[in-house]
Amino acid sequence: MADAVAQSWSWLGGLRTFALGRRPVWTFVRIALLLLVTFVLLKYVILIRRIESTSMAPTLREGTIHIINRLAYSPSRTPDRGDIVGVRTSGVTIMYVKRIVGLPGETVAIHRGVVLIDGQPLDEPYVVRRRRDWMRPPRPLGPDEYYVIGDNRFMDIWQHDFGAIEARRIVGKVVW
């Protein structure tokens, strides 16, 4: 009878071996290492953000989730025109996702919804519709400034024209 009971519960030993491996200490070490790597990635390398508005439509839709690579830029790898980036506001918790249209040293203006770089219209195939009342006077960018704006140019300009920002406010590049 004791053998029958022992055999009926023998599957628990197999489950224990499956869950913990043959060496439970190493299994716990692997789990701890996995948790540490996940923590470091989420704390210092990537940010996961949900798009909360339509200012980047149709490129990024409201409610979609995207990954921002914090290590995309360095002194040797600077942001490029057209990059979609996370931009930190003056506070530490609010971040917006915008597109870089103006680079350091350029002059950016908006005339009737068209972005002008040094007086020349910028080719923006990602912009579907524009409002003709979007106007901004020429704004020279400093050596450490970028001009960012949302793709949805049919919104009122005051709703999402972020404008010139310092490079230090760029958190990273949206990679997905």
Model confidence pLDDT, tens digit, residues 123-163: 999 998 888 888 899 999 999 999 999 998 888 877 666 78
> CA–CA separation, 6 vs 4, rounded Å?
5
Q: Single out the residue in 11, 27, 44 at which a domain terminates.
A: 44
Q: Which two tokens stand for residue 72?
A: 């995309």
Domain count, the chain: 2
Q: Are residues 40 and 57 in the same domain?
A: no
With cut-offs at 50, 70 and 90, classify the pLDDT of residue 108. very high
Residues 68 and 40 reside in one and the same domain: no
Range of the domain at 35: 2-44
- Note the pTM of the prediction, 2 decimals: 0.77
Q: Are residues 98 and 19 in the same domain?
A: no
Residue whose C-alpha is closest to residue 111's, from 134, 139, 141: 134
151 shares a domain with 64: yes
Residues 16 and 76 in one domain: no
Residue 170 pLDDT greater than 60, yes or no: yes
H or E stretch at 30? helix 24-40
Cβ atoms 73, 80 nearer than 8 A: no
Instruction: Count Cα neighbours of 13 within 13 Å in the Cβ-side half-sphere.
Output: 5
Based on the fold, state whether residues 101 and 139 are members of the same structural domain.
yes
162, 84: one domain: yes
The number of angstroms, rounded, from the C-alpha of 175 to the middle of its chain's C-alpha atoms is 7
